[in-house]
Structure 1
Amino acid sequence: MSDERPAPRYGEYAPGAPRVEDPPLPPPTPVEPEPEPKPRYNTRDLIITTALLLVGVWDVASRWQEYLGFGSVLAEAFAFQGLDEFTSYDEAAAVGLWMNISRAAILVITIVVSLILISRGRIAFWVPLVGGALAIIVLLVLSASVMVNDPAFVDFVGRTVQQN
């Protein structure tokens, strides 16, 4: 009598061994609905960032023509201050164009960086503030470069220094 079964291990085929049944399965636990995932963005930051970006877009768009006619703006400012006539219109026109280009570029970069931070769930309200500060610095530097090179302004500064 040959048994084709493999050799028993640890009493697998022992005669008269009680058969061990699997323990009964516990009753299934009720499935709780998954909680809604939290939004990945901070609503307050999103509102503030959007408002600041809209102010930037409005500022660039509304002052576009003003900076294209930057020479006339400086002429009015010189007349208001009682200075001699402003004469550097060509330089002011070129600088006004660069003011518009730089402000638009800073705005685009600010919008892109803000959107990237918002999409990653990070705080982004500071980006439009930094962009606005950078735009103001660029405007001041470019405006000063025109005024310092105008003969009327140079004459005014020379007279002021001599009086003191």
Structure 2
Amino acid sequence: MAEREAGAGQPAAATGAGQPTRWLTDDEQAAWRAYQAASQLLSDHLDRQLQRDSGLPHAYYMLLVWLSEAPERAMRMTDLAERAKITRSRLSHAITRLENDGWVRRAECPTDRRGQLAVLTDSGFAALEAAAPGHVRAVRTAVFDRLDPEAVAALTAVMRTVAEGLSPAGSSDLPWRR
């Protein structure tokens, strides 16, 4: 089964609950493999473009985007970790790098003495504005110029369904909620 994660003709295997494994059909296997390849290639493509043009990893670019969209360009660190789907420790490391670049600063949270805010600085906003056109071109060329409006709508629906299924409300075992 190293060659195929699951597929037609695979032997039945017991799951942890004692139920037989529901192997992927050939069509599901093809869709899964296509998703994996596209996801990895797109992530690498966007990261390389941003690193080359702005010296910024894609994950850090997205932190700047979310801060730029927040009221007063500030978010609680725990909320930002959840939005980015990363651990608080990883977020703290990223914010430290962005602080060193002068693009983000930390501030005390006025509503929670234990909380901290990440605040996008004017310099960080300017860096985001400079990086955004190249990033949008890369996204448009890699994804949206290849899709018709119906495919965009289908992609949106599928990705929302998958994301909602993986982020159940109140689940505390997700890394960014610990």
TM-score range (shorter-chain normalised) is under 0.3
Indicate the structure with greater strand content: 2
Query: Taking structure 2 as the reference length, what is the TM-score of the superposition?
Result: 0.26
Larger Rg: 1
Higher relative contact order (CA 8 A, sep 6+): 1
Query: Taking structure 1 as the reference length, what is the TM-score of the superposition?
Result: 0.27
